[in-house]
Amino acid sequence: MQIKDTQNLLQWAIKEFQPEIALACSFSIEDITIAHMLTKNAENTRVFALDTGRLNEETYQCANILQHKLGIRIDWYFPRNELVEQMENDKGVFAFRESIKARHVCCRIRKVEPLSRALSNLKAWITGLRREQSVTRNKLEQVEKDGLHGGIIKINPLADWKTEDVWAYIKQNNLPYNRLYDLGYKSIGCAPCTREVKPGEEERAGRWWWEDHEHKECGLHVGNHVVQTNSR
């Protein structure tokens, strides 16, 4: 991992796609690292977040601190209320624990559909995904074509960073982070679907811990193809 290489990639992406590019921010240490790099390399790069309605209080606190510390605007996207109402009225408020299919329905309503709206006018989006995070991400590339979202470009600047690299960046730059990390969380999503990680478990073991590893995605990050670019 070279911080300079990551900054070069972000600079290339901004030059190529601004203003039709945005960071999808879940307030992970990875997203906070990228948000900080963006504020140093470009003005007014869009940052958006998905409010699923089931986030931890600590995540909102982190969002609030980050917004003020970096002086950025965060565009929040919510699920469509009529879809949430129908799901919860029909199936209850914890239906996502009953089956993978029910879990995917909830993720589709609360995450996937709002993300599609957030990306609808973009040519590129930036994520904090890293290969090391799980078996579902070990083939991740820094620049991909996002087949799920109309073939727009998906940029994963931290693809080859290690966890310790990210923490070092956060500490060196005195950046805020979600306090749940101090309680043993390593990957933070919705409150009822995230728990702390035990010693020896992989980073995303605390996400949907009742499911197999291969199923541990919410539908936001599948359907990508590698893009070769000579311009960076």
Is the CB of residue 50 less than 8 Å from the CB of residue 26?
yes
Long-range pairs, 192-197, Cβ under 8 A, ≥24: 192/54, 192/94, 192/96, 192/97, 193/54, 193/96, 193/103, 194/56
Complex with ligand SF4: residue 34 or 190, whichever CB lies closer: 190
Complex with ligand SF4: residue 103 or 154, whichever CB lies closer: 103
Q: How far apart are CA 33 and CA 206, in angstroms?
A: 22
111 binds ligand SF4 (CB under 6 A): yes
115 binds ligand SF4 (CB under 6 A): no
92 binds ligand SF4 (CB under 6 A): no
Size of residue set near ligand SF4 by CB under 6 A: 13
Catalytic residue flag (residue 193): no
190 binds ligand SF4 (CB under 6 A): yes
**Binding-site member from 33, 52, 142, 156 for ligand SF4 (CB under 6 A):** 52
Q: How far apart are CA 58 and CA 50, in angstroms?
A: 15
Q: How far apart are CA 199 and CA 191, in angstroms?
A: 21
74: which strand partners?
47
What residues are annotated to the active site? 218
- Site for ligand SF4, rule CB under 6 A: 52, 54, 96, 103, 106-107, 110-111, 189-190, 192-193, 218
